[in-house]
Amino acid sequence: MWLNEKQLIDSRIVAYRESLLSSCPNHIVIDNLFDKDRLDDVIKVLQQPHDWQTQKHTYSALYVDNLQWENTTTEQRFVQRDVWQRAAASSNNDSTNIAQAFLSFLRGDEFMSLLSRIFNVTITDMNVAAPLINTNYFRLGAADFVELHADDSPGREICMLVYLNKEWHNNAGGELTFIGKNNQPISIAPLYNRCILFDPSSKGSEHWVEKLNAEYTDEYRYNVTSWYWSE
């Protein structure tokens, strides 16, 4: 079982829904949603130095190569981070099965049914051309960044992040920060087994990630990011 059943009782689902609708942007933070022991096994896989590749996005183009990146101004660069290479990991080491299994669970019927209950909308991959690329592990180092952007696109109902950072330092940085409303940003620390769900089309949902503190150059900020669509 991947989910912590204590977080799934009916009263909790009602509370999640109420919190979602009353916040700006529409978002909820759920701590300890997943089974801690299983996540411990996942992070052991992710902490291996292999199977990561740098990913770069600009505001005008996604997945740019190094030449495109160098020909882009600093102001036009909005993502530099590492993405987990699931195909390479699967072929190299059987122990990565637990990490693969978690990604599969997050795109499975059980979890998407939970999201549907919380957001009161039917979440499905029926019309998603390549669902697997919409759920993966990412890591940020001190030189990396995710600048201000929006995750809204037609039919996209939910964005989700799950943090996998054990013993995260209070001043290490890496907070997810929403624009919010009335010039009052909302920052959320990337604590272990913390799940953030938000509606990317809701007001104030534009966001960025605070830079990591250079004091922790030997540490990474790990998370799962997942995007979900309705019918």
Residue 28's domain comprises 5-229
Lowest mean pLDDT among 75-84, 94-103, 124-133, 164-173: 94-103
Q: How far apart are CA 109 and CA 125, in angstroms?
A: 10
Per-residue pLDDT of 127-185, as tens digits, reads 898 898 999 999 999 999 999 999 998 889 999 999 999 989 889 999 999 999 988 99
Q: CATH number, domain at 49?
A: 2.60.120.620
| Nearest Cα to Cα of residue 101 among 61, 179, 42 | 42
Count up the domains in the chain and report the number: 1
Beta-sheet strands, E only, within the chain: 27-31, 52-58, 77-84, 135-140, 145-149, 156-163, 176-181, 184-188, 194-198, 207-209, 221-229
Q: How many CA atoms lie within 13 A of 184 on its CB side?
A: 5
Hey, what are 162's tokens? 């799950």
Q: How far apart are CA 60 and CA 78, in angstroms?
A: 10
Whether omega for the bond prior to residue 185 falls within 30 degrees of 0, making it cis, is no
Instruction: Return the pLDDT at 214.
Output: 82
Per-residue pLDDT of 34-65, as tens digits, reads 999 999 999 999 998 889 999 999 999 999 99
Residue 95 confidence class, pLDDT cut points 50, 70, 90: low
